[in-house]
Structure 1
Amino acid sequence: MVPQSRILIVDDVVDNIRVAMNILKEHNFDFSFATNGADALRLVNEHPENFDLILLDVMMPQLDGFEVCKQLKTNPRTMDVPIIFLTAKVDIDSVTKGFALGGLDYITKPFHAAELLARVKTHVDLHQAKVLLKYNNIALEVKARFEQKRLLSELEESQKEIICVLTELMEATSDETGKHIRRVSESAALLARYHEALTDEDAHILYHAAPMHDIGKLTIPAEILHKPGRYDDAEFEIMKQHTSNAFGLLNWSDRRLLKAAAIIAHEHHEKWDGTGYPRGLRGTEIHIYGRIVALADVFDALSHSRRYKTAWSISEVVEYIKNLREKQFDPYLVDIFIQHIDDFIDIAKIT
């Protein structure tokens, strides 16, 4: 038994309180007492956690034990404190009423020392066991939540590592540069942060998933992928397959970063007016992540030189994107882009 278990004895007859205390005092209990119901309620309401048991007289003036029990059991702060009724009333109606109100036991007056001690010890031990179980359950729940958070964090780090490896492989085998990939990620995350319907979590996801937008190019034959001139119709059809191929490569995972990467890779060549590929999606049929990366990718690709093209000026790129509002690009995203153009220009300067 935990040392100094505290018992509240409530009785309007002081001699009854003394008798109970004398019986229980040698068994490691600490005591409080009240001689009326109002004082008992005040003591318990002030510090309900201090009491392991209440010995409660039934017949008291003004506020009887039944009413005290009722008030304690209807208060969420005090409802778990166990109550044993002390009474000379042993008729079935009184006993039934006491149990119905939430009392755990009855002890009749005059007290029998062995009975009082046995019942008190039993209910104190039960109460402390319940408190300990509740504490342990809370501790286990906190530990489980922490462990779940840790595992999710580790899974996300694993996803980031997978994305990093695949991105490096893409850089080595295509015309995508690490700087381009970083700039697209920064621009995509910035568009998400300015989008009033998206959250910081969306921005986080886009930042880490956007680098995979062209991962499907790994599946395109090198002679087509690195062709210096324009594609003919047959070659372009093969090139377009990089979107669907990427989706097939990544869509096996239910993890949020890889799932987002699959969506982005699949839909970032769709166009607002439905003329894009691979599925000809239109407007909001295109996932918002795909719409965002589509704009970020075009902005960066046009504003930087590639081996087959020279860089456009920022003003030319901005004009191009404005002209394709509601055609290639989500009009709301274009408005965000124009409104915060200086921020996107700063990203474009990353070298």
Structure 2
Amino acid sequence: MQIAIIDDMPLNLLLMEKLVAHEAGAIPHTFVDASEGLKWCLDNEPDLIIVDYMMPGLDGLEFISRVRERHPREEVPILMVTANSERTTRYEALSRGANDFLTKPIDKHEFAPRVHNMLKLRQAHKLTRDRADILAEEVRKATADILQRERETIVRLARAAEFRDPETGAHIQRMARYSALIAEHLSQPGSFVSDLLLAAPMHDVGKLGIPDHILLKTGALSPDEREIMKRHTTIGYDILKDSASRVVQLGASIALSHHEKFDGTGYPNRLSGRDIPLEGRIVAVADVFDAISSSRPYKQAWPIEKAVDLLLDGRGRHFDPDCVDVFLDNLDDVIAIRDECADD
């Protein structure tokens, strides 16, 4: 236990140092110069400060005020030693942050138990603080474990839909990263960007509810089949909507809205403009770009230039203009993601 003793009288310092030394585990640090004592107290975390009231230059009241700017009352106890028995002095010392008082001349029978009691309180505070830190760390670890399990479940859910669809795992990686790129350059909060990166792969989870003869059909869909295929948006929403997870709730919104069009001609709810959730507008750009610029068993990949032309043609009609603009402004990063997450 580190104890700072500040008194301009060397004899008093020596006496208090000897008395403090009787306390088990106590290490006294004595200062005849109040300014030097203050500097040590501000640069360190003492377990107890014993300070004289009447000192030249920096008196005990000002000393306490300066210490309390660095060490709150509940953390570091301060014991003031004074020959002044006036109540006003004590009231002022208490208001500035003193915890207890000793009156000169020092009585060792009073000094020892007061120091002992204050150090015991300090030990209890440190123990409580350490326990709180340990508990906070355990909570952090448990929360991280829960988040990791949540992410694993989300990835597995997205892959379950992927196994029923002739798209690749690389597709959901690319479109998720494209989505995060767009969100970041739209100046969205970091939490939204990271959540979107996890939620975007769930955009087509509703395809789990689409019959194979429609989902895997290589030819053109009939009008009735097309209407059934469109249901994957509402099916995905119904699968995800009641989750307590913020990321899964975001996935539900994406599943429902990523086929809406900016001009109101999309599905399932024919929303338009800013009525379409931002996450749906973002994923629409990312998903379509990756779908047309990637090879599938039933089609060849479009050249990047042609895919860019499609986005420009659909700007303001199919796609949110802002999303298209930031996507194309960062096309070098898009191509880097495409190359890094290639299908092979």
Residue 76 (structure 1) aligned with residue 66 (structure 2): no
Instruction: State the match for 2:234 in structure 1.
Output: 244
Residue 53 (structure 1) aligned with residue 15 (structure 2): no
Counterpart contact for 1:270–1:278, Cα < 8 Å:
yes
- For residues 153-212 of structure 1, the C-alpha deviation after alignment (integer angstroms, 9 at most, x for no partner) is 32333233223333333233233333433333343344344x241356545434433222
Instruction: State the match for 1:257 in structure 2.
Output: 247
SS in 1 for 2:3: strand
- CA RMSD, Structure 1 to Structure 2 (Å): 3.5
Instruction: State the match for 1:43 in structure 2.
Output: 37
Name the CA shift for 1:181/1:95 in 2 (closer, same or farther; >3 Å): closer
Q: Distance in 2 between matches of 1:21 and 1:185?
A: 66
SS in 1 for 2:5: strand
SS in 1 for 2:242: coil
Q: Distance in 2 between matches of 1:213 and 1:86?
A: 73
Instruction: State the match for 1:157 in structure 2.
Output: 148
Q: Distance in 2 between matches of 1:240 and 1:63?
A: 79
SS in 2 for 1:83: strand
Residue 6 (structure 1) aligned with residue 3 (structure 2): yes
Instruction: State the match for 1:126 in structure 2.
Output: 121
Paired amino acid for 1:116: F
Structure 1 residue 234, shift from structure 2 partner: 3.4
Structure 1 residue 40, shift from structure 2 partner: 2.3
- For residues 220-277 of structure 1, the C-alpha deviation after alignment (integer angstroms, 9 at most, x for no partner) is 2233333444334433332211101101101222324322322221111011111111
Name the CA shift for 1:285/1:45 in 2 (closer, same or farther; >3 Å): same
Q: Distance in 2 between matches of 1:33 and 1:296?
A: 68
Structure 1 residue 305, shift from structure 2 partner: 4.7
Matches within 5 A, 1:271-290: 271-290=261-280
Greater radius of gyration (CA): 1
SS in 1 for 2:319: coil
Name the CA shift for 1:161/1:93 in 2 (closer, same or farther; >3 Å): closer
Q: Distance in 2 between matches of 1:164 and 1:61?
A: 70
Structure 1 residue 128, shift from structure 2 partner: 4.2
**Runs of 4+ displaced beyond 6 Å:** none
Counterpart contact for 2:20–2:28, Cα < 8 Å:
no
Pick aligned residue for 1:267 from 234, 257, 275: 257
Q: Distance in 1 between matches of 2:175 and 2:157?
A: 16
Counterpart contact for 2:65–2:96, Cα < 8 Å:
no
Q: Unaligned stretches of 5+ in structure 2? A: none
The share of aligned pairs that are identical, in percent, is: 34
Name the CA shift for 1:145/1:196 in 2 (closer, same or farther; >3 Å): farther
Q: Distance in 2 between matches of 1:289 and 1:70?
A: 55
Counterpart contact for 1:228–1:308, Cα < 8 Å:
yes
Paired amino acid for 2:114: R
